[in-house]
Chain A
């Protein structure tokens, strides 16, 4: 009985691992979509309203989806804090701490730290548009990965779990 239960748990664990890997791919797609949408709103605000950065970060933290929401909320906190850090340092730290993103995704976002708040509205908007294009390209690749590899991970997890269970029994 214990033997059977152990085999069942191993099979379940393998299937869960597969599902987790597939979920990570989906989470990356969602994160890239949320960031892309947030940057689109940021671009509009900077072009038409010239909103100051702390206020803009506050607005974005209310109107966007996770993980963009958390990114902008923390960014606002840092900008209004007493530590007087450079914006580029704050942005680099927060971007690299974002969950669900790959190193390439972070690399695409990092240049904004050198641009936001430092140039006129049009200059910033054009930099944001460039980053959005990069995120869209990464998002397309992430969606493909999620479709293709997501199924593979789930199948391999379930099949591997089943195979181990059979071996154990």
Chain B
């Protein structure tokens, strides 16, 4: 079975049986192109392609289906994914991300969990080995890897590019090999399952999963002596603070952030300081969609 089809089957495995049957009945070509599975109560489940959504044959989604999806996605262990769940998502085997919507149960000013689930999306994770090879060399200057920020809107392929950059640098494919420490809070980069990364990150990579990014970066610095630190989706002020601290410790940084271009970045309060800080020396932007993506590396002064 092709890797993309396997990824689809893996992602669909968290659907309740009758919805899973509907997904399994999709033609192979659709399974290969599918990007997400969507469940909304009262409507049939749908599969998302780059051009839009296609409803699946099958019954409308019931709240019971979403409860069962949560049970299957958490491997019958909500307690083990409570931290992720409080942020509205959880990562399943294979690195696929299950996003959930419902009523937030709050305690002490923070969302503790979600109840009365109303919709869910299963985003199919895919590996694209080799996509970073062309640009990896541009990230080096005088033989040293420069700290790099990957900037693109949601769904543009930031995580895929970061994952392959980590793998390329760690394996030393066309560039000098380096030790990479990865703070993988949501488990999307390495998708570790019982300690074994399910997605390729390279032989010189140390993967810390499930830990908040800011804390994870510091733990990696103290414990694993990394030459490169990688983190996906910088969203909170404490992530930015941790990056600024880690950047001063001699390790190069690889990070992704949501945004269309550097003007977008400058408008966001959280990320505004990232580029002017001088911490990042390269900015990668992603253009295109579906299977046709192009990467542009900008040298930051």
Q: Does A83 contact B (CB under 8 A)?
A: yes
Known contacts A50-B80, A84-B68, A79 near B17 by CB under 8 Å: no
**B residues in contact with A118, CB < 8 Å:** 71, 78
From 61 to 81 in chain B, residues with beta carbon under 8 angstroms from any chain A beta carbon are 68, 71-72, 74-80
> Mind listing 16 A-B residue pairs with CB under 8 Å?
A51-B80, A52-B77, A52-B80, A53-B77, A54-B77, A84-B16, A84-B20, A86-B68, A87-B76, A117-B76, A117-B77, A117-B78, A118-B71, A119-B78, A119-B79, A123-B79
Docked pose: A149 CA to B216 CA in angstroms: 61
Q: How large is the interface on B (under 10, 10 to 19, 20 to 34, 35 or more residues)?
A: 10 to 19
Contact partner of A46 among B20, B68, B79, CB < 8 A? B79
Nearest-Cβ distance from residue A83 to partner chain B, whole angstroms: 7
Contact partner of A53 among B17, B20, B75, CB < 8 A? B75
**A residues in contact with B16, CB < 8 Å:** 84
Across the two chains, which residue of chain B brings its CB closest to A121?
Answer: B79
From 41 to 81 in chain A, residues with beta carbon under 8 angstroms from any chain B beta carbon are 46, 50-55, 79
Number of chain A residues close to chain B: CB under 8 A: 20
**B residues in contact with A55, CB < 8 Å:** 194
Q: Does A124 contact B (CB under 8 A)?
A: yes
**A residues in contact with B80, CB < 8 Å:** 50-52
Contact partner of A83 among B17, B75, B76, B194, CB < 8 A? B17
Given A51-B77, A124-B79, 5 more pairs with CB closer than 8 A: A50-B79, A52-B74, A52-B76, A84-B68, A119-B79
**A residues in contact with B74, CB < 8 Å:** 52, 117
Q: Does B82 contact A (CB under 8 A)?
A: yes
From 96 to 148 in chain A, residues with beta carbon under 8 angstroms from any chain B beta carbon are 116-121, 123-124
Contact partner of A54 among B20, B68, B76, B79, CB < 8 A? B76
Are A120 and B79 in touch, CB under 8 angstroms? yes
**A residues in contact with B78, CB < 8 Å:** 117-120
**B residues in contact with A119, CB < 8 Å:** 78-79
Chain A at the B interface: mostly helix, strand, loop or mixed? loop
Across the two chains, which residue of chain B brings its CB closest to A87?
Answer: B76
Residues of A within 8 A of B (CB): 46, 50-55, 79, 83-84, 86-87, 116-121, 123-124
Are A86 and B79 in touch, CB under 8 angstroms? no
**A residues in contact with B77, CB < 8 Å:** 50-54, 117
Contact partner of A84 among B17, B82, B194, CB < 8 A? B17
Nearest-Cβ distance from residue A60 to partner chain B, whole angstroms: 14
Are A120 and B82 in touch, CB under 8 angstroms? yes
Are B68 and A79 in touch, CB under 8 angstroms? no
Across the two chains, which residue of chain A brings its CB closest to B113?
Answer: A120
Across the two chains, which residue of chain A brings its CB closest to B64?
Answer: A86
**A residues in contact with B75, CB < 8 Å:** 52-54, 79
Contact partner of A87 among B20, B71, B194, CB < 8 A? B71
Nearest-Cβ distance from residue B81 to partner chain A, whole angstroms: 9
Across the two chains, which residue of chain B brings its CB closest to A125?
Answer: B79
